[in-house]
Amino acid sequence: MKEYYSPADFIKLPKYDAHTHYHTFNDLFVRMAKKTNISLLTINTNFHILPIDTQFKIAQFLHERYPQSFNFIGAFDASVFASKTFAEDTIKWIQKCITAGARGIKIWKNMGMTLKNDEGQYIMADDPVFDPVYSFLQKEKIPMLAHLGEPRNCWLPLESMTTCSDRRYFSRNPKYHMYLYPEAPTYEQHIMAQNNILERFPELIFVGAHLGSMECNLEEIAKRLERFPNYYVDISGRFEHILEQTIRNRNKVIDFFETYQNRIIFGLDYFVSPNYGRRWMDIICKCFPHIYFYLIYKFLFGIYKKHWLFFATDKVIKTGKMTDELESPTHIKGLQLKKGIIDRIFYENAVCVYGM
């Protein structure tokens, strides 16, 4: 029996993309993913792009139609934290999400980055105002997905950032570029807030989105995985950071994934949306919606396969331009992790934490 997968194995294996943002009632993407053995977990989020209630309705609709291949994570509105009935109202909303089929609840980076009290002080994720919510999640064994803070690059000027993807994102989203807000909490404070929640609620099933915002230091992630048995991380949106570290120390990266294979969850982190803010895409979506969502799926399927090939095989993949360094490689050899590790990261861990 072969110890490793080959590229031909990709299409037939069950896969679980545990970090998507699905913002349309159109189900073509879901049906195409199902045909290629990809289950989806859409993450409702407390951001401005689409109201939480609308995200919930879309997720509930598609989950009811495809209960075995489309699941969702609920979210609550943290911006109303000052309300006297915040905890009570939020817990009722969470109960509604779970009754509708939600596999967990997400908290987001607005905690500590944009939320402020009446005195102008930033409200961090470990603020006591959220404790009743975390306590409820812990008691009911509801997983919490937490996107807290951002990559360390977020606190650097654009020209000093270590990856092109971070430079692109923060140049387009200056609201979350913390280098521009020296009065805001530091990177270290966001990581500490995460630690404080883990310490106060040790039985809470806690998934650190985007490698727990510690993408630049696998050793720091390992420390928390060792210390907190209910802590997991997803790798969504941080593929470029993994490639960067592989270039620096390939064996260290392999050792990390081998050691913590039961605590790492795959996710791509993309939007399936009828509105990307580009006029030509909006026109195609309005006039030819099936063609539009078909093209989105084909594009993302290629990215998904590229990620899988990197982890599962020793195939050389094209990295693209990751940094501004002239000697930065544009191709990299895959990690070729063993079959069991691939099965856990790309499917079994998500099923274990979130269910199907």
What is the 8-class DSSP label of residue 116? B
Q: What are phi and psi of 160, to 5 degrees?
A: -100, -5
- Alpha-carbon span 97 to 57, nearest angstrom: 10
Q: Please give the share of the chain, as a percent, with pLDDT higher than 70.
A: 96
Does residue 304 lie within any of the structural domains? no
Core vs surface per residue 139-166: b (16+ CB within 10 A) or e = eeebbbbbbbbbbbbbbbeeeebbbebb
Does residue 93 lie within any of the structural domains? yes
By CB atoms closer than 10 A (0-12, 13-18, 19+), residue 1 is exposed
Does residue 311 lie within any of the structural domains? no
Residue 222 has pLDDT above 70, yes or no: yes
DSSP string, 257-269: HHHTTTSEE----
pLDDT 10s digits, 97-122:
999 999 999 999 999 999 999 999 99
Does residue 191 lie within any of the structural domains? yes
**Residue range 335-353: mean pLDDT, rounded:** 98
What is residue 71's predicted lDDT score, i.e. its pLDDT? 98
- Mean model confidence pLDDT for the chain: 93
What is residue 281's predicted lDDT score, i.e. its pLDDT? 74
Does residue 1 lie within any of the structural domains? no
Expressed as residue numbers, the domain containing 60 is 14-279+339-354
Number of domains making up the chain = 1
The answer to whether the beta carbons of residues 58 and 23 sit under 8 Å apart is yes
**Residue range 267-289: mean pLDDT, rounded:** 81
- Locate 349 and state its tokens: 């861990």
Does residue 210 lie within any of the structural domains? yes
What is residue 326's predicted lDDT score, i.e. its pLDDT? 46
CATH code for the domain of 134:
3.20.20.140
What is residue 179's predicted lDDT score, i.e. its pLDDT? 95
Q: What is the CA 39 to chain-centroid distance, rounded?
A: 15
pLDDT 10s digits, 142-186:
999 999 999 999 999 999 998 888 999 999 999 999 999 999 999
pTM of the model: 0.94
* 264 contact partners, CB below 8 Å, separation of at least 6: 232, 233, 234, 235, 257, 344, 345, 349
Does residue 149 lie within any of the structural domains? yes
pLDDT-based confidence at residue 56 (cuts at 50, 70, 90): very high
What is residue 337's predicted lDDT score, i.e. its pLDDT? 98
Residue 59 has pLDDT above 80, yes or no: yes
